[in-house]
Chains A and B, each alone.
Chain A
Amino acid sequence: MDTKSEIFPQRLIIAVLWNIGLQTFLAIVLVFVIQIDLLHPVTWVTSTLNDIFGWKMALNIVLLGLVSFFQAYVYGSYYIIPLPKYFTRFSMFLNMFSVQNVMFSILYALSGYFTMGLYSSLAKSNYNILKKKCVHYDAQCLVEQSLFLQFGGMWMGLYYFLNIHIFGTTMLMFPHIYQDKFQQIKLAINNILSMGFKNSVIPVVYYCLFYYLWGNKPRSVVSEVYSLYLEDPPLDNLLNLTSSGIWIGLWFYTSLFFVSVYTMRTIFNIILTEPMKFPIESKNSLMLHNALALRTEFNGYLGAQDLRIMSMTDPSRRQIIFTLSQPGGHPRNWNNLLEQCLNIINGFSKELDAVNTDGKPAETENPKLRSNGNMSPTTAFNYSGKIRNMAASPKFQEIRDQNRNKIEDSLSNMVKNEINNLIQKLCQKPGFSYLFGELTDTKLKYLLMQSQPVMWTCEGLACIAAASLQEDKFGVVQNDLPIVISTLINLKQNLDKLTKPGLVPRRHILNDTLAIKMKTALISSVKRSIYKIAITFSKYIHEIPLEPDIQIALQPFLMCKEA
């Protein structure tokens, strides 16, 4: 079980290595292009080679390595924990200033500074050093252009950080088909280059504006610290700025910086989202159902993805699921897998229901499932194996809970109620409700953002069920078909409530389109899963013992009438 947490760091390291390789390649290409000299090709090649094997390049690689390790760390810390839950505007605002974010912004600014400096030194520009000898008198003078560039580097680092990590979603998007790494990089490179050069225009404009407004402050500070004089016309004048042409340089280096960070991002995405094969049965490595149990963590994603791929394309591993364990003859593999899948789907259903009922008490949430203890998916797995644990039976639990409640029902509850009421009243005031009011759509959005493994699980489960008609010799899966069907139908009914007016996420929230798309994707995949089972088993559907309301809900699927 020790491999549990290793997959993610391993992949990060691979990504860093790939990244360093690609960044070096980028730097070499840059050197090669900048020194183009068609008239003297020999000197061109030799000087390029000299530069490539020079100390500058080595330093560059070391620094790029550091930067990419830092990036890996950032990505790791953003991806490995589930998305932060903030349901009020105030907490969202506070979250922007967390220690982590402040630290990262500083680190990003530094990395922007270094990367820009490196590229400008590789490009052999004159604006690497802050000091120069004054022309008119005997003293040190400030090269404001290099100051402009260096501050620009920090600015770009910050800009990127804000744009991607604070205002953007740091969600790992798994591609729907996975090609080789090389193919993906080849496909992405065009896009990265054009995006880099295009997206760098706006921050350069912002930075020029910023420098126009506040440029004199850093300049005076720097010249005071180093006791430098200013000789050239100051750059916080629009005319001087345009005529000096340094903004072109800034745009070029910013584009390079963006190309470099986009490359990193792409590489991380490609390597982290690579599908992974988990064994169904194994002694020492992470098994599929263990991976699924990690739900929202990275391994949970990989597990769900693998479940789907396995159920669609891998008959040999499916066969292992359908086998019985050797001593005993229990369908252990299937039971483990099913338990985790149902946990994922039911957990999501429950949370969805909580959003739908607007945070009403969760006890009344699914009376449907409670009605029939034998069949209901939530209780069926409280009994592990064949033996029923009387102490854990739902009836007993209820009795116990009631007893406990009676004791605690006293003064403390009254105080709590009072405070709650006060908060409720306060929250209804316009200003407060804007800041502290709970946003239902944010909750829904947060839930939907995590729905990717649920989709995969539904599809995977449906595919295994459909394949079982042909491949399952012992009828391992057929036993549990009612639970699978009722779980999927239950999720579908909960999802249907979302499409009712009033609960659809409001338009003005950031990245709203993504949430809407996730919702349609989820609905579509759940429906397809139900269709898959219904159509495959259409001939035998009446022999499956289903509850009457599930049967009614399944009817439109059998008749192909469910949109």
Chain B
Amino acid sequence: MSAFHGFPDLPGPDEVPLCKLNEVYCCGNTQYGNISTFTNTTKGHPVINVTRDIHHHRTTDENISMYIDVEDNLLKKITSVWYKQGFLEALGVAADPSVNRESQVLALAASYVLKVANVFTAFRYFLQPHLKDIGPKIVANYSRTRNWGHCPIKCIAWHPHTTKMAVATVDDNVRIYCSEVSFVSTLKCKAQGHVSSLSWRPFSASELAVGCEQGVIVWTADPNSMFTKPSSSNAVVLKRPGHSPVTDVSWSPNGDLLISCSGADTSMMVWDVSMETAVPLRRVAGGGIVFARWSFDTSKVFAATSSIIFRVWDTKRWQPERWCARGQRVVAACWGPKDLLLFAAKGEPMIYALTNTGLMSGSQTSKALPVLDVTKVELSSGEAVGGPILDMCWDPTGRYLALLFEESPLVAVFCTTHLMMQLKITPCCFICGIEAEVPSTMAFQQNFAEGACLTIAWSSGRVQHFPIIYTDGY
């Protein structure tokens, strides 16, 4: 029997799901429907709609014609390219006959040096083929956001203790939306390009780690300050040679350590942010580390590599336990209560659970068991759901599991109950967008007392809060 048997029917074409109240699936009209007719729990939540016009001007092809081309002298040109883009690019400029018309000798010399350098790069790529992709391509490849390069919202993150959300938009600015204050701070600096991930520091009100192409930027956005644009003096840039582009950042639940991963780097960095020092963690085999997840009690860290290998690190001794996924790399994983881990491999409609089965038998062995099969099916309304998993979120209490699929415009939410060491997964509801919207990314609110609140960023730039409320008496 399909896992999608028993879900409530999707609403009609003019309606969208708004919330779920004690098992009642509430939908409203696309235009006039309002969530406040059902519940007040998300009344104070920030209303977010990232439309094209709030984007800041980027130097795209359209507005670049506004600037007048200035003819610098050659030396200045080369030094500026060297400063901004590096030595090899500067050599390229010097060797380019269309730019360098003045000094033939320099051009010749530069072209020879370039040739030698190219031989070395070719050799390096031969040894480490995964480095061939350039930054944004790597991020796009490993991102759990649908259509990462082009959708208006690149990633979202809820603050662990308050109703505050960070949203990274396509122009690589990070906006912070709060429940109480109406103004939105925009975090932006020159180094912040190709934002891949966001993470709020636990036990801190204002610190946000942003993973981007160059490294990790840790912002301190003072909630009391009325400046809507914190300057780069509020940011610390954490960089390591070879550790770029950063594909994931995550704070430890204690708020003391930050792990950053790069799909192009085989070591995972554990940062002490205030001292700006990092300890690389590396083991043989596996390729680049794509993402890492901390367990709730900080005792374990899950690290997925770009190959089928994944590791579960024990944080006491920092020693890994090596695992292999069956088909392809692990695409999404989340920890739940009691050190239960769910993960899904790329291109496979199956969710596995990694549990400590040791308690029963007395030995400390863990096993990966398939717990949910989400093979693609067609619903009676004609929508396709299921198939390979794109992203997966588990709410902090471990009661609801939300899934994004690669080939479906629906978000599927399951109820999960953990009874007698057994994980039971039952259907909850589907969430669909307005018209042709597809979900880009999603996150559960961390401090929602009334139940669980799933926040979904749709491809149109709309951000929906979908509360699932239950009262204990029910």
Does A178 have its Cβ within 8 Å of any Cβ on chain B?
Answer: yes
Give the number of chain A interface residues (Cβ < 8 Å): 28
Give the number of chain B interface residues (Cβ < 8 Å): 35
A178 to B270, CA, bound (A): 11
Q: Give every chain A residue within 8 A of B257 (Cβ-Cβ).
A: 176-177
- List the A residue with the shortest CB-CB distance to B282: A187
Smallest CB separation, A356 vs chain B (Å): 21
Does B255 have its Cβ within 8 Å of any Cβ on chain A?
Answer: yes
Does B356 have its Cβ within 8 Å of any Cβ on chain A?
Answer: no
- List the A residue with the shortest CB-CB distance to B164: A560
Interface string of A183-199 (1 = CB under 8 A from B): 10001000000000000
Does B60 have its Cβ within 8 Å of any Cβ on chain A?
Answer: no
| Residues B204 and A527 in contact, CB atoms below 8 Å apart | yes
A531 to B159, CA, bound (A): 14
Partner of B254, one of A178, A183, A312: A312
A-binding segment of B285-293, B315-323, B384-392, B425-433: B315-323
A525 to B222, CA, bound (A): 17
Q: Give every chain A residue within 8 A of B315 (Cβ-Cβ).
A: 177, 313
Can you list 10 residue pairs at the A/B interface with Cβ under 8 Å? A179-B319, A187-B282, A459-B256, A517-B275, A517-B276, A528-B254, A560-B164, A560-B205, A561-B224, A562-B205
Partner of A187, one of B159, B206, B280, B298: B280
Does A521 have its Cβ within 8 Å of any Cβ on chain B?
Answer: yes
Does B9 have its Cβ within 8 Å of any Cβ on chain A?
Answer: no
Q: In terms of DSSP, what is the predominant structure of the interface of chain A?
A: helix
| Residues A177 and B279 in contact, CB atoms below 8 Å apart | yes
Interface string of A525-536 (1 = CB under 8 A from B): 101100110010
Interface string of A159-192 (1 = CB under 8 A from B): 0000000000000000111111001000100000
- List the A residue with the shortest CB-CB distance to B299: A313
| Residues B224 and A528 in contact, CB atoms below 8 Å apart | no
Does A563 have its Cβ within 8 Å of any Cβ on chain B?
Answer: yes
Does B220 have its Cβ within 8 Å of any Cβ on chain A?
Answer: yes
Does B274 have its Cβ within 8 Å of any Cβ on chain A?
Answer: yes
Binding site for A on B (CB under 8 A): 159, 161-162, 164, 203-206, 220, 222-225, 254-257, 270, 272-277, 279-282, 298-299, 315-319
Q: Tell me how many residue pairs across A and B have CB atoms closer than 8 Å.
A: 83
Q: Give every chain A residue within 8 A of B255 (Cβ-Cβ).
A: 528, 531
Besides A520-B274, A560-B161, 19 more A-B contacts (Cβ < 8 Å) are A175-B277, A176-B272, A176-B275, A177-B315, A178-B318, A179-B279, A313-B298, A521-B272, A524-B204, A525-B256, A527-B204, A532-B203, A535-B161, A560-B164, A560-B223, A561-B223, A563-B206, A563-B223, A563-B224
Smallest CB separation, B46 vs chain A (Å): 15
A402 to B212, CA, bound (A): 64
A359 to B76, CA, bound (A): 53
Q: Give every chain B residue within 8 A of A535 (Cβ-Cβ).
A: 161, 203
Q: Give every chain A residue within 8 A of B277 (Cβ-Cβ).
A: 175-176
Smallest CB separation, A489 vs chain B (Å): 15
- List the A residue with the shortest CB-CB distance to B298: A312
Partner of A561, one of B205, B270, B272, B299: B205
A507 to B455, CA, bound (A): 46
| Residues A531 and B204 in contact, CB atoms below 8 Å apart | yes
- List the A residue with the shortest CB-CB distance to B270: A177
Smallest CB separation, B417 vs chain A (Å): 22
Partner of B274, one of A175, A180, A524, A560: A524
Q: Give every chain B residue within 8 A of A527 (Cβ-Cβ).
A: 203-204
Partner of A175, one of B164, B256, B279: B279
Q: Give every chain A residue within 8 A of B299 (Cβ-Cβ).
A: 313
| Residues A177 and B274 in contact, CB atoms below 8 Å apart | no
Q: Give every chain A residue within 8 A of B318 (Cβ-Cβ).
A: 177-180, 183
A556 to B220, CA, bound (A): 16
A518 to B223, CA, bound (A): 24
Smallest CB separation, B211 vs chain A (Å): 19
- List the A residue with the shortest CB-CB distance to B297: A313
Q: Give every chain B residue within 8 A of A175 (Cβ-Cβ).
A: 277, 279
Smallest CB separation, B281 vs chain A (Å): 8
Partner of A563, one of B222, B272, B319: B222
A561 to B225, CA, bound (A): 10
Q: Give every chain B residue within 8 A of A312 (Cβ-Cβ).
A: 254, 298
| Residues A563 and B316 in contact, CB atoms below 8 Å apart | no
10 tightest Cβ-Cβ pairs between the two chains A and B: A521-B274, A563-B222, A176-B272, A531-B203, A560-B162, A528-B203, A520-B274, A560-B205, A563-B206, A179-B318
Smallest CB separation, B334 vs chain A (Å): 22
Interface residues in A247-295 by Cβ distance below 8 A to B read none
- List the B residue with the shortest CB-CB distance to A561: B223
